[in-house]
Amino acid sequence: MQGLGLLVILGFFGLAGGTVGRMKGSSFFMWFLVSFCVPFIGLATAVLYRYDNRELRAQCPECGKVVQLYDAVCMRCGAELEFPDTAIASEWEMMRRGQPRRRAV
C-alpha cells in the first residue's frame, strides 16, 4: 500500500512535466516519462527546456515544407538540407508581430 503513494506522486510529477513540455511545443509523452522516472530533475529540466516554437525555421528547397533551422534532413521528402542564407522567423515571433501563421504541411 505504501508503494501506491509513491506511484501517485510520480504520476503527478509526470503529468506536470508532460504538460510543461507540451506547452513548450515538445512531446507530452517524452516529458511525462522523464519527469515520472526522475521526478525533481525531470520537471526542472522540462521547465528550463527551450521553446520549440521560438526556434528559427527554414524552407525545404525540394518540397517547400517549413522545417526547423537545425534540421539536416526534410522529414517529408528526405532531401538533405544545407544551412540557408536566410531564415524564416519563428512561429512565436510571427504571432507576436500579428502576422498570419504559416502552417508547416
Of residues 95 and 40, more confidently modeled: 40
Contact present, 22 and 31 (Cβ < 8 Å) = yes
pLDDT in tens, 9-34: 999 999 999 999 998 888 899 999 99
Q: How confident is the model at residue 95 (pLDDT cuts 50, 70, 90)?
A: confident
Domain locations along the chain: 2-49, 52-100
pLDDT in tens, 50-94: 887 778 888 888 888 888 888 889 888 888 888 878 778 777 777
Retrieve residue 48's grid coordinates: 528550463
Contact present, 81 and 68 (Cβ < 8 Å) = no
State the pTM of this model. Answer: 0.60
- Sort 91 into a burial class: Cβ within 10 Å, 0-12 / 13-18 / 19+: buried
- In our burial notation (b when 16+ CB lie closer than 10 A, e otherwise), range 62-78 reads eeebebeeeeeebeeee
Q: Which amino acid does the sequence have at 56? A: L
